[in-house]
């Protein structure tokens, strides 16, 4: 399970695929103060990135992955 949805935290682990797009969207809509932990995320599908960008929630734990950290985080941080 690449994304584990806990009560207030979504933990991204490994390669997160498009299959997670709908669950992630629903979860983000239902949780008041969602906490995003991308620490273990090694790959993020474009669709998930879109959901995160649209949600505009801060990322609590940035990903370790160089590509995500270097190029994707700055965009997520801006929102």
State how far the Cα of 6 lies from the Cα of 27, in Å rounded to an integer: 10
**Measured from the CB of residue 79, what is the shortest distance to other proteins in angstroms?**
8
DSSP H helices, 4-68, are 21-30, 46-55, 66-67
Least CB distance to other proteins at residue 39 (A)? 18
Min CB(40)–other proteins separation in Å: 17
The contact mask relative to other proteins for 32-71 (x = CB under 8 A, - = no) is -----------xxxxxxxxx-xxxx----------x---x
For 41, list phi and psi in degrees, rounded to 5: -75, 125
Separation CA 8–CA 33 (nearest Å): 7
Chain residues binding other proteins by CB under 8 A are: 18, 21-22, 24-25, 28-29, 43-51, 53-56, 67, 71-72, 75
């Amino acid at each position: 399970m690449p994304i584990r949805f806990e009560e207030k935290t979504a933990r991204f682990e490994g390669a997160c695929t498009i299959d997670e797009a709908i669950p992630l969207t629903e979860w983000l809509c239902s949780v008041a103060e969602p906490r995003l932990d991308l620490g273990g995320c090694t790959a993020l599908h474009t669709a998930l990135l879109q959901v995160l960008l649209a949600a505009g929630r801060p990322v609590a734990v940035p990903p370790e992955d160089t590509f995500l950290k270097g190029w994707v985080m700055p965009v997520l941080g801006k929102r």
